Structure 1
Amino acid sequence: MVYYFESTVVSPPVLLFMGFDKNENEDLIRWGWPEDVWFHVDKVSSAHVYLRLRQGQTIDDIPSSVLEDAAQLVKANSIMGNKMNDVDIVYTMWANLKKTPDMDVGQVGFHKEKEVRKMRVAKRINDIVNRLNKSKREEHPDFRAEREKRDRLEREDKKKVLREQKKKQEEEERKRRDDAELKSYNSLMSAETMSKYDDGNDSDEFM
């Protein structure tokens, strides 16, 4: 089971989601999308909250208001973190999550520590948490099927772009050939015209 939340602080709204337990978290880790940003309370147990970016967006494009929503949702879903003030929330792109065989279920590390960002949450803001909880819905997605569909659509889009690029190149090459042929034809016609009006007499005098 996955819990989905809608953050309406931006338009269009963005999607936040988290697993019901560590087993769902494990599936989210395995079948996450390149567009997913992972959030967790630093150094204490908490839910794994994800923000799904649109294709082409980066972690630098996340508005501060959306970061605040994600951070508050993570804090509210941490037994220890929810009781604490001045907690740090860490977040990074899904692709930076590292999973090794010796890790417990739901546990993750990072490929590159320098790509992990941190933000401080002074206290729980009930208005934010309540707003997000009102949008909460439960679903039972097939993580693998969704990821495979996403990848298939991406491959199709890339093939379409390549086809369009190839078509454009062929059209440009055809235009270059046509221009070259036209230039050659014009040069030929010009030479024939000069020959036609040249009587071989260099003198401009006539009797």
Structure 2
Amino acid sequence: MDFVDPPVRLFMGNDKYENEDLIKWGWEEDVWFHVDKVSSAHVYLRLNPGQTIDDIPMAVIEDAAQLCKANSIQGNKMNNVDVVYTQWSNLRKTPGMDVGQVGFHSEKEVRKIRLEKRINEIVNRLNKTKVESHPNFRQEREERDRQERNLAKKELKEKQQKEKEELERRKKEQELRNYTSLFSSASMKTNKDAADEDSDDFM
């Protein structure tokens, strides 16, 4: 969507099998939307790096919710429907669930928005930006994970290099302090030493 800055990406499964892939291969940055208590499309919002669910503008939440409602056979006909949304990481899938069905790890992490009615202006605007594609969700997720691992390795290497440099710096400082201390001890004289050097010897 180009009307927000930076632009955001919304995507939606075409059927329950594509929804299943989205559930399985979602990203940590994804926020999941669904009409509450009735069947609907699964809509995902991919956050930009550094964003959290609290950073989503209300206009974007409303757009994603309207898209869910418009793509729900029952929900599209109803007024005053709730759309729930939560981080992808909060979705819970168990072996006994049907294809495309999902639960939550924590109900406290699930948020809700009430839609009084369908707003055609929003739905039409979103449909104009719609691009139909069939990406390989697994491949995209694995590529993203690979990039994350490479970034983590790079950051670890940089951290280890900084720690090594800091250790070397401290070592040199310690050696310098030891040398200075040794030099000062060798050149220092007591009052007695000075007096002995200045006195004459008599038989």
State the TM-score, normalizing by the size of structure 1: 0.89
1:129 maps onto 2:85 in alignment: no
Identify which of 193, 200, 203 aligns with 2:193: 200
Q: Which has the larger radius of gyration?
A: 2
Q: Report the AA paired with residue 109 of structure 2.
A: E
> In the superposition, relative to structure 1, how do residues 100 and 201 fare at CA in structure 2: closer, same or farther (>3 Å)?
closer
Which one of 86, 103, 112 corresponds to residue 97 of structure 2? 103
Q: 2:155 aligns with which of 144, 150, 161?
A: 161
**Residues 1-207 of structure 1 mapped to structure 2, 5 A cutoff:** 7-195=1-189, 200-202=193-195
User: Aligned partners of 1:198 and 1:152: how far apart in 2?
Assistant: 72
How many pairs align?
200
Query: Helix, strand or coil for the counterpart of 1:139?
Result: coil
Where structure 1 has 5 or more consecutive residues not aligned to the other structure, the ranges are: 1-6
Alpha-carbon shift at residue 139 of structure 1 (Å): 1.1
- Unpaired stretches in structure 2, ≥5 consecutive residues: none
Amino acid at match of 1:201: A
Contact 1:37 1:53 in 2 (8 A): yes
1:203 deviation in Å?
7.9
Percent identity over the alignment is 65
User: Is contact 1:41–1:74 with CA below 8 Å preserved after alignment?
Assistant: yes
Q: Is the 8 A contact 1:9 1:65 kept in 2?
A: no
SS in 1 for 2:194: coil
2:168 is matched by which residue type in structure 1?
R
For residue 29 of structure 1, report the CA deviation from its aligned partner.
0.8
Against the structure 1 CA distance between its residues 44 and 199, is the aligned structure 2 distance closer, same or farther, given a 3 Å change threshold? same
How far residue 199 of structure 1 moved from its aligned partner, in angstroms, is 8.8
What SS class does the counterpart of residue 137 from structure 1 fall into? coil
Greater relative contact order (Cα < 8 A, sep 6+): 1
Moved over 6 A (4+): 203-207
In 2, are the aligned partners of 1:22 and 1:106 still within 8 Å (CA)? Answer: yes
**Displacement, 1:62?**
1.3
Q: What amino acid maps onto 2:195 in structure 1?
A: D
Deviations 1:140-180 (A, max 9, x none): 11111111111111111111111111111111111000111
CA RMSD of aligned residues (A): 2.1
The structural deviation recorded for 1:56 is 3.1
CA contact (8 A) 1:9 1:66 kept: no
Q: TM-score scaled to structure 2, two decimals?
A: 0.90
Task: Please report how far the alpha carbon of residue 98 of structure 1 lies from its aligned counterpart in structure 2 after TM superposition.
Answer: 1.5
More strand by share: 1
